[in-house]
Amino acid sequence: MHPKALLDAASELVLRVLRLDHPADAVVSRFFREQRQLGPRERATLAETAYAVLRRKPLFEHLARSGSGGRERRLAILGFAAPRDFLKQALTDAEKHWLDACDAIAPAELPEACRHNLPAWLVEPLRAQLGDGFDALAQALLQGAPLDLRVNTMLQKRELAAQELQALGIDSVPTPYSPWGLRLAGKPALTRLPPFQQGRIEVQDEGSQLLALLLDARRGEMVTDFCAGAGGKTLAIGAAMRSTGRLYAFDVSAHRLEALKPRLARSGLSNVHPVAIAHERDERIKRLAGKMDRVLVDAPCSGLGTLRRNPDLKWRQSPASVAELVAKQQAILQSAARLLKPGGRLVYATCSLLADENEAIATEFGSQHPGFAPLPVADLLTGLKLADAAALCTPDGAFLRLWPHRHGTDGFFAAVWQRAG
């Protein structure tokens, strides 16, 4: 495609994603369905351009004030994910001079908001948690996330999976913490490859794998993944159980559970039972009260730990939406806890960076439920033989706390309790 046509398409896509009325990945997918003539290379350039604008929106809007032409075109030029020589074939002489001037601006000359590119409401709580580490987090969130895989160890060992991928021209390294993970170099297309189609590998961030590992589900147990979504952690838990026992995958979205079915078929698991529920107090949940050995609550959250993948969330979330989520998280955790039998394990997790959705929820639950004894996560991970387990946790070892700038994963939190008895 000619550079001018590609820049025009990028400008239109930037216009659509900046409406912020739908998740960016859904907007991009819809755009590509409408533009079927686009090849893989053009699609990659357009998607990366849109995500670059979302990641650096304050910076690009600041720079765009000095340009000319349509706002979306100026933003698309600044975020264009292709070599400058290619881009400049689409630009007027005035646009070329303006872009060169923008490129020459040193970061130190920019306002602080244009360096961290986060909304003001999010800066304060993150600074309070991280102190001097805030800038490193902000820079990490401006990068794309790596592509992590989970090897289905029921079907193949991790070493053999890496060898199979290498034979297909895909380089990988073992993830530093998860014993099931491989991290790929680049983002190759996987869906048509035999190891993917035959269920030997699944795309899953290393942090998400660690949540399943922390549940430590055993053969023959009764286990619930309370907010299963599309089932990534469900599949990891089922494999850890070696397809024995009974694993319930609950979610309020029947549509998301439908997406689990083809993955489940590939995985070889026969112990997973997807169940669509109306809400956390559904009668189908009440009938299972006191019967579960383990329950994972990966609660609906702001998703702010996934900003490398979903940069639109920092513009679509707000203090009001987080407050609504906190109330929902409290209700879900209390309902899920009733499922546990005496001696059972409860794991509460989010992919949020905010203490309000994490430590605050865990502390309040613990104070209201003295029959649930907190289990220090650092000790649990050490028992699972994870390298440098304490570095994955809060300083007191109580909770799992993963950060993109420290651990290379999405941001994750987890707290663990054991029911008395």
pLDDT for the residue numbered 151:
98
Instruction: Give the CA distances from residue 59 to residues 95, 211, 224, 320, in Å, rounded to whole numbers and listed in that order.
Output: 17, 35, 44, 25
Side by side, the strands of the sheet bearing 201-203 are 172-174, 181-184, 147-151, 201-203
pLDDT for the residue numbered 132:
95
SS3 of 174-218: the string is ECCCCCCEEEECCCCCCCCCHHHHCCCEEECCHHHHHHHHHHCCC
Which amino acid type is present at position 298? D
Structure tokens at 173: 């390294």
Residues 391-413 have pLDDT tens digits of 999 999 999 999 999 999 999 99
Of 56, 149, 190, which Cα lies nearest the Cα of 110?
56
pLDDT for the residue numbered 1:
87
Active site residue 351: yes
What are the residues whose beta carbons fall under 8 Å from the beta carbon of 141, sequence distance 6 or more?
A: 55, 117, 118, 307, 308, 311, 404
Q: What is the arithmetic mean of pLDDT over 264-274?
A: 95
Q: What is the arithmetic mean of pLDDT over 302-309?
A: 98
Q: What is the arithmetic mean of pLDDT over 214-240?
A: 96
CB atoms within 10 A of CB 326: 20
**What top-level class would CATH report for the domain 3-117?**
mainly alpha
Tell me whether domains 3-117 and 147-203 share a fold: no
What is the model's pTM?
A: 0.95
Instruction: Give the CA distances from residue 90 to residues 185, 365, 377, in Å, rounded to whole numbers and listed in that order.
Output: 31, 57, 54
Topology at the third CATH level for domain 147-203: Alpha-Beta Plaits (3.30.70)
Q: What is the arithmetic mean of pLDDT over 158-179?
A: 97
d(CA 109, CA 101): 13
Q: Is 254 exposed, middle or buried (0-12, 13-18, 19+ CB in 10 A)?
A: exposed
pLDDT beyond 90 at 100: yes
Confidence of residue 145 (pLDDT cuts 50, 70, 90): very high
pLDDT for the residue numbered 213:
97
Q: Locate tokens 């489940």: which residue? A: 264
Q: For residue 112, what is the enclosing H or E element?
A: helix 112-116
pLDDT for the residue numbered 421:
82
Q: What is the arithmetic mean of pLDDT over 120-127?
A: 97
Confidence of residue 385 (pLDDT cuts 50, 70, 90): very high
Share of the chain above pLDDT 90, in %: 95
DSSP 38-85: --HHHHHHHHHHHHHHHHTHHHHHHHHTT--S-HHHHHHHHH--S-HH
pLDDT beyond 90 at 280: no
Q: What is the arithmetic mean of pLDDT over 152-157?
A: 96
What are the sequence ranges of the domains in the chain? 3-117, 147-203, 206-419
Asked if residue 236 lies in contact with residue 261, where contact means CB atoms within 8 angstroms, the answer is no
- What rounded mean pLDDT belongs to the chain? 96
pLDDT for the residue numbered 76:
98
Of 4, 9, 79, which Cα lies nearest the Cα of 48?
79
Beta strands in 194-305 (DSSP E): 201-203, 222-225, 246-251, 272-276, 292-298
d(CA 165, CA 61): 41
d(CA 332, CA 354): 18
Confidence of residue 67 (pLDDT cuts 50, 70, 90): confident
Residues 311-323 have pLDDT tens digits of 999 999 999 999 9
Cα torsion through 167, 173, 178, 180, rounded to 10: 10
Q: What is the arithmetic mean of pLDDT over 315-336?
A: 97
pLDDT for the residue numbered 384:
96
Among candidate residues 114, 227, 301, 351, the one labeled active-site is: 351
Residues 351-376 have pLDDT tens digits of 999 999 999 999 999 999 999 999 99
What is the per-residue burial (b if ≥16 Cβ within 10 Å, else e) of 281-295? eeeebeebeeebbbb
Beta strands 181-184; 147-151: pairing state: antiparallel
Query: Under CATH, which architecture does the 206-419 domain have?
Result: 3-Layer(aba) Sandwich (3.40)
Longest dimension (CA), the chain: 76
d(CA 224, CA 194): 30
pLDDT for the residue numbered 279:
87
pLDDT beyond 90 at 386: yes
What is the sign of the dihedral through the CA atoms of 19, 21, 24 and 30? negative
CB atoms within 10 A of CB 406: 16
Structure tokens at 195: 């190891």
Which amino acid type is present at position 406? R
Q: What is the arithmetic mean of pLDDT over 79-86?
A: 96
Bridge partners of 373, per DSSP, are 418
pLDDT beyond 90 at 171: yes
d(CA 206, CA 409): 6
pLDDT beyond 90 at 414: yes
